[in-house]
Structure 1
């Protein structure tokens, strides 16, 4: 196994894609195709996640409590983000489900995406190809949007995202 070298943003996207599958069996190649990431990068990512204690030794089961702790307490420091220019894209953070029902805001946050239908301040996604995956997979979209709320949100927004992530990661919804 290679030296760890630290977590990368796509590692979080890959772990959340596995969680979004629920009880559905998956293979590395399926995750790679779904996220638009090479199979070798998925393999390397799962190795990094194993060393970090975020997935079990056979690399089949996400260590949900550990992942949740990392997301809540470390993600915004390791992969920080600030809203940027106004662009067309796919809504994220407080601008899409489930937080858009809990927080009323005229502010729109989006991942830049040429085929997007919403204009708002740009937020760089954890990995560029996940936007396309989220357009096709609403469960993954919600998980990554909640993660973005942790990265860019104010205290109340982060607290609401934390509660929603706990439901989805620990309880399966």
Structure 2
């Protein structure tokens, strides 16, 4: 598995059973078609999508996200940068948690200043600007990578609403 595999799977979840093609994922995630294909191949081998690579095995993905993601894709917040809010600083989570310093995905034209969290793929900021559901899902994933127990519990609840 590679970090971008999670981004691809979250985009498919965000599409909410709408039909899609590799080129649709490629253009909305800013990932090449060949990378999308390789990603879905890895996800099939890992048991996270079916053999046709069209349906996400939601229970398996939720299990991986809940119990394995923070071990496979750990993150330590970095220096203060401009960027797009993520993790518990996402607008949805902001109403549940207070913090002095937000977490952000680094972006030159970002509208927030905070501690940097390396996104799972370089196209995450652009893709999240175009898709609010994907943005919330990826911010939830980041909570599992950098958050505290209470934050993680809410993120898992929210992810389950979309995945299960």
Using the size of structure 2 for normalisation, the TM-score is: 0.98
Residue matched to 1:19: 13
Residue matched to 2:72: 78
User: What's the RMSD between the two structures over aligned residues?
Assistant: 0.8
Q: Distance in 2 between matches of 1:72 and 1:163?
A: 10
Structure 2 matches for 1:18-167, cutoff 5 A? 18-167=12-161
**What secondary structure does 2:91 align onto?**
coil
**What secondary structure does 1:26 align onto?**
coil
Q: CA deviation at 1:82?
A: 0.8
Q: How many residues align?
A: 164
Q: Distance in 1 between matches of 2:129 and 2:108?
A: 12
User: What 5-or-longer segments of structure 1 have no aligned partner?
Assistant: 1-6
Q: Distance in 1 between matches of 2:95 and 2:163?
A: 20
Q: Distance in 1 between matches of 2:59 and 2:96?
A: 24
Residue matched to 1:4: none
User: What 5-or-longer segments of structure 2 have no aligned partner?
Assistant: none
Q: Distance in 2 between matches of 1:136 and 1:115?
A: 15
Q: Distance in 1 between matches of 2:150 and 2:84?
A: 22
Q: Distance in 2 between matches of 1:166 and 1:107?
A: 27
Q: Distance in 2 between matches of 1:107 and 1:115?
A: 18
Q: CA deviation at 1:97?
A: 3.4
Q: Distance in 1 between matches of 2:26 and 2:58?
A: 21
Using the size of structure 1 for normalisation, the TM-score is: 0.93
